[in-house]
Structure formats: C-alpha cells, structure tokens
Amino acid sequence: MTPHHRPKLKVAPSSVKRAKARIKGIMRSGRGRSVAKVIGEMTPFLRGWVTYFRLSQVKNVFEELDQWIRRKLRANLWRQWKRPWTRAKKMIQRGIERGRDWTSGTNGRGPWWNAGASHMNAAVPAKWFAQQGLMSLLAEHQRLASLA
C-alpha cells in the first residue's frame, strides 16, 4: 500500500527484486543465443508475473521493469557483438550515422553503460524489441486492468 491519503495497491519491492533475479537467470543462460529466443523463454514468466499483479494500481513499477529488461537485452547484444569493428558495423546497419558508430563502438566502456547510452537506444529502440516478441509489462497491465 502507498502512504498517501487514498492508499493504492502496489507491487512490493521484494517481489520486483525476485522477478529481476529470475530474469537475470534467464538472460545469463541466453548470452550465446538470439534475442528472439531469450525473449521467447522470458515471455511466459513475464506474462504470469504481470497477471499475478494485475490488481496493482501503481504503474511505475511496470514501466521501470520494462526499461530495465530492455537495457539488459541491449547489454547482451553489446556482449555478443564483441569487437569494436563488429559493434560499429552493427550500429551502421541499424541506422547510426558514420563517425558516431566508431566513437561509440570503441569507447572502452562496459556493456551496462553502453546499453543505457543514446547510441544503443537509437540503434535498438523499444519498437525493435516489440517486433522480436517482447511484451510490454505496462501495456499488458493496462490491458488486464481494463478487463477487471
């Protein structure tokens, strides 16, 4: 419950922590596989989790978890691309302009930093993940709330 004048139901932080741990396990085993396969393995868990918490009235938990999942997937892509040349080439294929691709691909920072950087958000937008089959927790929560 939230501590406001009109309390609302929300997802407990410990539940979010457990969900993140489960998602990390799924993604760790998927480092050598395509993003679509990892998403396919993750979808049943995400669908069940959001259905379980469908009565929650606070939506920011679902938004933040959506963002965190996409960032983890981008970090996995960054690891899979391995070499700076491959990273630059993949970013060009995904619409990043020349010059920016090379500086981004050779910046020397880690996968988590690059996954949150603007060049990866531009190269691998949320729409691309939706095309790969990643369900939005927020959209699914809103759909389930409208049914109730």
Note down the domain range covering 77.
Answer: 13-147
Whether residue 6 is contained in a domain is answered as: no
Whether residue 3 is contained in a domain is answered as: no
Whether residue 121 is contained in a domain is answered as: yes
Share of the chain above pLDDT 70, in %: 97
Neighbours of 44 (CB within 10 A): 9
- Per-residue pLDDT tens over the stretch 91-101: 999 999 999 99
Contact 91, 104 (CB under 8 A): yes
Whether residue 2 is contained in a domain is answered as: no
Residue 89, pLDDT above cutoff 80 = yes
Whole-Å CA distances, 27 to 7, 97, 106, 111: 35, 29, 25, 14
The H or E element spanning position 17 is helix 13-28
Look at the chain and report how many structural domains it folds into.
1
The encoded tokens of residue 127 equal 């729409």
Please tell me the predicted confidence (pLDDT) of residue 8.
Answer: 84
Whether residue 101 is contained in a domain is answered as: yes
Whether residue 1 is contained in a domain is answered as: no
Average pLDDT over residues 84-107: 94
Please tell me the predicted confidence (pLDDT) of residue 4.
Answer: 67
Supply the pTM of this predicted model: 0.91
Whether residue 37 is contained in a domain is answered as: yes
Closest Cα to residue 73, out of 16, 119, 132, 15? 132
